[in-house]
A and B are shown apart, each in its own frame.
Chain A
Amino acid sequence: MKNIILVEGKDDKAFIEYLIQGVDVKEFSINILEGLSKDALTKRLASLKTGFLKNPFEKLGIIIDQDSFTREERLAFINECLQESFDIQLSDSQTFVDLTIDKIPLQIACYFMNIGGKGELETILRLIKNHSSSNADCLEQWQNCLSEKVSQKEFDKLWVHYYLKYDTATHQERQHAGRYCTLEYSLQHKTHIWDLDSPVLNELKVFLALFD
């Protein structure tokens, strides 16, 4: 039986897909939520449970951004969705809970993308950049000009976008930015622009290794 990892968006999928190559895990499938909300997560979990007896999986991992929430708040959010769908709760992140559905065992765990207890994928990406980021860094000055600052989450997303488009892409690649200036493309063809051995990623890699 394969494992399933549930992520928020296509960048998360590309990132986890890359990292998981370096970890000895079973056959897995990464499902995208297309935007995180209680409704979307609960319905996706309910759908996975509905189809479980025909397409069972051994382990389910839910990876979401911690954002500006505390770990306890994030866990409470996940538990609310799990309670409605699988009728179980997790005791902590990065720890499996065991359950059985019609005699088929299943384990579920979650992980929150974070740096120092907050943030998201883009916060991690900023920290593991491995190339000059002179263009993206100018955004700090741009932000200072604004009468109303953008949120840290939006800023980090913008920073990664600029890094991929103006610091690490060729002129030709920029002409087709939708294809060549994406995280997915960089992880397939330009891995040198990221420090993928950074210790910042160790906790996430340990979590992914649980899907052995």
Chain B
Amino acid sequence: MIQNISIENFRCFDKTEIKGFSRINVITGKNNSGKTCLLEALYFGLSQDTKGTIDTRSYEGTENTGYSLMKNQDIGAINFKFTVNNEEFGFKYQPEFSFKDDKTGENFTHNNDVQLILDKNRKYPQLSTLNLNEPKKINEKNSSSINLVQLFDQAQITGLDKEILDSVKIIDSTITEIRTFGSYPNTLFLKKEGTIFQPINYHGDALGKVILYIGIILNYKKSIYNYLLIDEIENGIHYTAQKEVWQMLFKLCQHHNIQLFATTHSREMITAFEEVCEEFKGEGAYFEMARHAKTNQIIGIKHDIDTLEYELATNTPIRGE
């Protein structure tokens, strides 16, 4: 599990060090405060997926080399330091040499399973490090969304589809069944009490999101640490379901040994998170991205969960204000 990270010369970061991550980490802050950049930095550092990271922000006509990931191209390198399970390691990325270990100078590969889910307005990186049973099928897809049908099928093959149904019931308790039909290979169908099967896109965004999260979690490899990075996690999830969604994520991430990093703007989502942290002591951490008043560097301020509870109760600004 990642405890600390230091990022230098990546995207909007000059030099930023954030300490004290836990299993479930919520990251907030104003627009352009570095929340999504932090997820991208984690993704890049953990996966060493240069193309996928570049693709999150590239569009036609922009530079799409490794240099585009740098804050200052003159420096010529991006530096990372991670503390994982009390062990610190550092490495740098240079477009000419790819990743090099700080100590040995050898090529650096880390082999983590990591999935970054960005807000739907952004592109998704390739699933290059998602270790599914049939990874090629997923990797070959070049669409802007992850194939829910394949995630559901994988869960069904391994007998874990009930966990997906239980999770979907948090959002809509009237859903009784999820399945796929051979005649519609790209569509997941849901059945509500007293109705016929309907395609998932007839329902709200939240159902698709929950199936996506759970599907990814259930498809990770067992017994090693995996990482799930979700941008704007609250989108589409009604506030009455947010607490249960967090409970589900805490339970599943604990069970499947996953470390989750999620950004949000929503005070309701933060309140629900804080309440669930009370049930899962020591498993949640809350970070506020802001600028250091003196140096103007991006900082990640960790709020103690007890203090966060007080701050929410007293309407103290906690989202980068």
Q: Are A51 and B293 in contact (CB under 8 A)?
A: no
> Which residues on A sit within 8 Å (CB–CB) of B294?
56, 102-104
Q: Are A47 and B290 in contact (CB under 8 A)?
A: no
**A176 within 8 Å of B (CB atoms):** no
Given A53-B292, A54-B291, A54-B320, check contact A34 B301 (CB 8 Å): no
**A44 within 8 Å of B (CB atoms):** yes
Best-surrounded residue of A46, A47, A54, A55 (most CB of chain B within 10 A): A54
Q: Are A43 and B292 in contact (CB under 8 A)?
A: no
Q: Mark A41-59, 1 if CB is under 8 A from B, else 0.
A: 0011011001101111000
A-side interface mostly:
loop
> Which residues on B sit within 8 Å (CB–CB) of A51?
288, 301, 316-318
Q: Mark B272-306, 1 if CB is under 8 A from A, else 0.
A: 00000000000000001011111000010111101
Chain B: minimal CB distance from A87 (Å):
14
Which chain A residues (12-52) contact chain B, with CB distance < 8 Å?
34, 40, 43-44, 46-47, 50-51
B-side interface mostly:
mixed
- A207–B306 Cα distance when bound, in Å, is 32
- A102–B293 Cα distance when bound, in Å, is 10
Partner of B310, one of A43, A55, A56, A103: A43
Chain A: minimal CB distance from B308 (Å):
9
Which chain A residues (93-136) contact chain B, with CB distance < 8 Å?
102-104
- A103–B299 Cα distance when bound, in Å, is 14
> Which residues on B sit within 8 Å (CB–CB) of A40?
310
Given A43-B306, A47-B307, check contact A54 B293 (CB 8 Å): yes
Chain B: minimal CB distance from A55 (Å):
7
Nearest neighbor of B320 in chain A, beta-carbon distance: A54
Chain A: minimal CB distance from B291 (Å):
7
Chain B, interface size category, equals 20 to 34
Chain B: minimal CB distance from A144 (Å):
41
Q: Are A53 and B301 in contact (CB under 8 A)?
A: yes
**B55 within 8 Å of A (CB atoms):** no
Q: Are A50 and B307 in contact (CB under 8 A)?
A: yes
Given A102-B292, A104-B293, A104-B294, check contact A54 B307 (CB 8 Å): no
Nearest neighbor of B292 in chain A, beta-carbon distance: A53
Q: Are B314 and A34 in contact (CB under 8 A)?
A: yes
Nearest neighbor of A45 in chain B, beta-carbon distance: B307
Chain A, interface size category, equals 10 to 19
Q: Are B311 and A54 in contact (CB under 8 A)?
A: no
- A43–B306 Cα distance when bound, in Å, is 8
- A51–B288 Cα distance when bound, in Å, is 9
Partner of A53, one of B290, B306, B307, B318: B290
- A57–B264 Cα distance when bound, in Å, is 27
Q: Are A53 and B314 in contact (CB under 8 A)?
A: no
- A53–B292 Cα distance when bound, in Å, is 5
- A54–B30 Cα distance when bound, in Å, is 12
Chain A: minimal CB distance from B169 (Å):
37
Q: Are B310 and A44 in contact (CB under 8 A)?
A: yes
Nearest neighbor of A54 in chain B, beta-carbon distance: B290
Q: Are A56 and B293 in contact (CB under 8 A)?
A: yes
Q: Are B301 and A54 in contact (CB under 8 A)?
A: yes
Best-surrounded residue of B288, B291, B303, B314 (most CB of chain A within 10 A): B314
Enumerate chain A interface residues (CB-CB to B < 8 A): 1, 34, 40, 43-44, 46-47, 50-51, 53-56, 102-104
8 A-B pairs whose Cβ atoms sit less than 8 Å apart in the complex: A50-B301, A51-B301, A53-B292, A54-B288, A54-B292, A54-B293, A54-B299, A56-B293
Q: Which 10 A-B pairs have the closest CB atoms?
A: A54-B290, A43-B310, A46-B307, A56-B293, A47-B311, A53-B292, A47-B307, A50-B303, A47-B316, A104-B294
